[in-house]
Every structure is written in C-alpha cells, then in structure tokens.
Amino acid sequence: MVDSVTPELRSDIMSRIRAKDTRPEMIVRRMLHKAGYRYRLHVRKLPGTPDLVFPARKKVIFVHGCFWHMHAGCEFARIPKTRVEFWTTKLMANKARDDKNLAALRAAGWDVLTIWECELRQSGLLNVLTQFLECGSQER
C-alpha cells in the first residue's frame, strides 16, 4: 500500500511528534493537579524518565501513546502498512526498552502505573490514579 501523503509531508508530520508534554500527558497532569497532588516531571535520574514522579510516595506514572508503545489489544497500536519492517523493529525496541525500565524501577522499590492514551476516554481514570497514589501498587 502506498502512503497517502508525500514523503516530505510525512517527515514534517512525524517531526512534530513530541516525547514529553504530550496532550495525553497534560490531561493526566491537570487531573492530578486539580485533585491536589504535586509531582516532579521527567526525572532523568530514574530509568525511563517517568512522566510523573511522586518522590515521597516512591511512585511513578508513565503516560504512553498506544501506537508508540504497542498497547496490546488496542486498535491504535497497529503497524503502518508502509515500511513494515522498519516500524516493527522500531516499535518492538520501544516495547523492550519499556519492559527493561519497568523492571529496573520495580527492582529499585518504585511502584509504577502506566496510563495508556486510549484509557483517557474512559470514565473513572481519576479513581484509578488516586487509588494507585493512596493505596499502593496495582498491576494492570
């Protein structure tokens, strides 16, 4: 299948994708701040540079895009039809890196929660976040 846009336009589109301060991340940040939680952003000393860090609670939250981090079973996590080998290699490397960082954080005693982009559309996200921050780790 041929790409529906020119290579130059595709390059321009892809160059605008940010690694931090993304729309999903901003939604979670605003939700937590409004609920009274304070946090640190993108602490580079921690494996994977978590999006939100709660040092006193020893908890971190990652806000992942379904496409970039290969959210299992999600409709948004599909491999593009062009350059399949490139995208498969790239996205699988992202997933492997995420797994490695998650294991390193847990080994260091941090509780980790991953919020997926598609979950922002569901009601009850604030309950999930507050339960994680108040009660402890939860596997999802």
- Identify the sign of the CA torsion 101, 124, 27, 40: negative
| φ/ψ (deg, to 5) at 41 | -110, 135
Give the tens place of pLDDT for each residue, 13-67: 767 777 777 899 999 999 999 999 999 999 999 999 999 999 999 999 999 999 9
The contacts of residue 105 (CB under 8 Å, 6+ apart) are 46, 47, 48, 50, 60, 112
CA distance 76 to 66: 6
This prediction's pTM: 0.85
Please choose, from the candidates 106, 96, 108, 107, the residue with its C-alpha nearest in 3D space to the C-alpha of residue 138: 106
Partnered with residue 112 across adjacent β-strands are: 60
Residue 15 DSSP SS3 = helix
Lookup: tokens for 85? 């080998």
Tens-digit pLDDT profile for residues 120-136: 988 899 999 999 999 86
Q: Which of 81, 123, 116, 118 is nearest to 95 (CA)?
A: 116
In angstroms, rounded to a whole number, what is the distance separating the alpha carbons of residues 25 and 42?
A: 11
- Burial profile 52-75: b = 16 or more Cβ within 10 angstroms, e = fewer: bbbeeeebbbbbbbbbbbbbeeee
Q: Can you list the domains of the chain with their CATH numbers? A: 21-129 (3.40.960.10)
pLDDT for residue 1 is more than 90: no
